Amino acid sequence: MKQDILIYDTTLRDGMQGENIDFTVDEKLRIARYLDDFGVHYIEGGWPGSNPRDISFFELAKDIKFKNAKLTAFGATRRSGLSAEEDQNLRLLIECEAPAIALVGKTWDLHVTEVMNNTLELNLSMIRDSVEYVKSHDRELFFDAEHFFDGYRDNGEYALDAVLAAARAGADAIILCDTNGGTLPHDIEAITQKVADIFAAEFPDGQGGSRIKIGIHTHNDCGLAVANTIAGIRGGATIVQGTINGYGERCGNADLTSIIPILALKMGRSCITAENLKKLKKISRFISETANMTPLNSRPFVGKSAFSHKGGIHVSAIMKNSRAYEHIDPELVGNQRRVLVSDLSGRSNITYKARELGIDTGSEHFDVDRIVSEIKMLELDGFQFEAADGSFKIVMEKITGQFRPLFELKSFRVTIDKEADRPCSSHATIRLAVGSSETVASSDGDGPVSALDRALRKAIAEFYPDSLGLDAMQLVDFKVRVLDGRDGTSAKVRVFIESRDEDEVWGTIGVSEDIIEASWDALADSCQYKLAKELKK
């Protein structure tokens, strides 16, 4: 009988060990709420015995009523020379009042004798004492068998003795850890199956399994963390430890944004409800933004490129049947299909994209061959529309005679002043027309593009009411690329701007030998796109 899989998220502890990832207490609390709403079963909040921030987190988390998850505190077995009752770290685990506790202990004899300078028997005693102490305070207990697979390879008898010591002392679950990330999937499956068989024999649940659950915790040092987690489940594990987006030390931990949909959609294992699975991309992006980490476009299932199609043959096929080039429906994980347009595009790309962007494909001016030709010429000139849907929509509207400009530039002037020992200051003045009416607006800014943006918004506000929501539009990314460096400072540049509001993210582009002009073109397209969208509501 296939058992349900329990999802144990350790983003707030193991994930924070990743390079350049650091969460404040408030951020950890927000993430914990998101994870609970998403439907994970356990949230490892941190190590209250290691730092004041985690102590504060657990204190504040007492006021949160989790509806799906159990908050879990992480710690280590007692130190040698101290009883469990005397160990301050163990006391703090109990005092934080988390309903579940994860204790990490050594199972690799190399670590016991060469790193900790302990005897093998003393380490087993430390495991037993610590587990018994925590269980005496009525907590659910996970024993994280650190370096278990390396330990099993070097001294299998001792590695098994260590996990059995924890199980016999009362642990509710044993988590087998590939801490170095160097074990291969077939070995993970075989060793996990061996442990599962031993546990089923000694701790039978009456249904052919073990009453003590087995979990799997893998790292990605060989790029196999997800595959190793799946192998562990095939071997009998029913608890999955991992992090959102695979954040973690060195090469990261097993990525729950891949593991969860594989379990639910590929393996038919119950773990997250279908409704919550649709939140997968949202929680991936939320944690990326909270961590101030750029989302990985190529991340499976949740990445921006995960269901993107560029080749004309591919697009032609998915227009007939999306299964031809998509292994799942992207909406199942909260993602969406994207068709990219470039100099590799064919008729199918243009037609699909036009419909997606609301272009009237029935217009007498909608000539696919002409659009393809002009797009390819623009790409030859330096434009790149793959991530610039806003500009691409406007270009197609212009080619097909459907573009109705909501404002027209008459002129702009940008000045930059620099005095010794002071930062540069920028000022922009812009003259816009809407129909026969004109206006002039000026603004300072943190650089010339910032000044242009503020002046443009001021000018637009003269013609369009605040209800159009331009104030809600934010510029979230600005990139400049030199297209051919051989011309030095006279080289043509491509400026890409990404904008967003409450509902959507869109990109616009500008190309010119002048970086300010290219920036203006991208900025103007972004505002045109936003205004047109709001006027259609």
Token pair of 101 as six digits: 């506790």
Look at the alpha carbons of 25, 29, 34, 36 in this order and tell me if their dihedral is positive or negative.
positive
For the domain 408-535, what is the CATH code?
A: 3.30.160.270
469-500 tens-digit pLDDT: 677 888 888 888 887 766 666 678 899 999 88
Of the candidates 213, 242, 214, 237, the residue with the CA atom closest to the CA atom of residue 226:
242
R_g of the chain, CA atoms, integer Å: 29
Cα separation of 272 and 261, whole Å?
Answer: 9
Neighbours of 121 (CB within 10 A): 10
Q: Which pTM was predicted?
A: 0.75
**Residue 1's pLDDT is what?**
47
d(CA 388, CA 341): 9
| pLDDT greater than 50 at residue 145 | yes
What is the arithmetic mean of pLDDT over 39-61? 93
The residue that leads in pLDDT, 299 or 463, is 299
Confidence of residue 2 (pLDDT cuts 50, 70, 90): low
Residue 317: per-residue pLDDT: 81
Assign residue 30 a region: left if phi > 0, alpha if psi is -120 to 50, beta otherwise? alpha
The stretch 177-183 carries a mean pLDDT of: 97
Q: Pairing state of beta strands 308-309 and 338-339? A: parallel
Candidate CATH numbers 3.40.50.12280, 3.40.50.720, 3.20.20.70, 3.40.30.10; the one for domain 6-272: 3.20.20.70
- Of the listed ranges 66-70, 193-197, 247-251, 456-460, the least confidently predicted one is 456-460
Q: At 353, list the tokens.
A: 């994209």
Percentage of the chain modeled with pLDDT above 70:
95
Helices assigned H by DSSP within 416-483:
448-461
pLDDT digits (tens, 9 = 90+) for 116-143: 899 999 999 999 999 999 999 999 999 9
Note the Cα 440 to chain centre separation in Å. Answer: 43
Q: Is the pLDDT of residue 344 over 60?
A: no
**How high is the pLDDT of residue 351?**
77
Amino acid at 193: Q
For the chain, give every domain's residue range: 6-272, 308-395, 408-535
Calculate the average pLDDT of the chain. Answer: 90
At residue 306, does pLDDT exceed 80?
Answer: yes
| Mean pLDDT, residues 323-330 taken together | 90
Specify the pLDDT at position 346.
63
287 versus 361: which is more confidently predicted? 287
pLDDT at 510: 93
Dihedral over alpha carbons 337, 341, 342, 344 (to 10 degrees): 70
pLDDT of amino acid 485: 66
- pLDDT of 343 above 80: no
pLDDT digit string (tens) for 75-116?
Answer: 999 999 899 999 999 999 999 999 999 999 999 999 999 998
**CA proximity to 261, closest of 287, 247, 240:** 240
pLDDT at 397 over 90: no
**pLDDT value, residue 345:** 58
Cα dihedral sign for 238, 243, 244, 245? Answer: negative
Helical spans, DSSP H, in 321-425: 347-356, 368-380, 389-399
More confident residue, 263 or 501: 263
Confidence of residue 443 (pLDDT cuts 50, 70, 90): very high
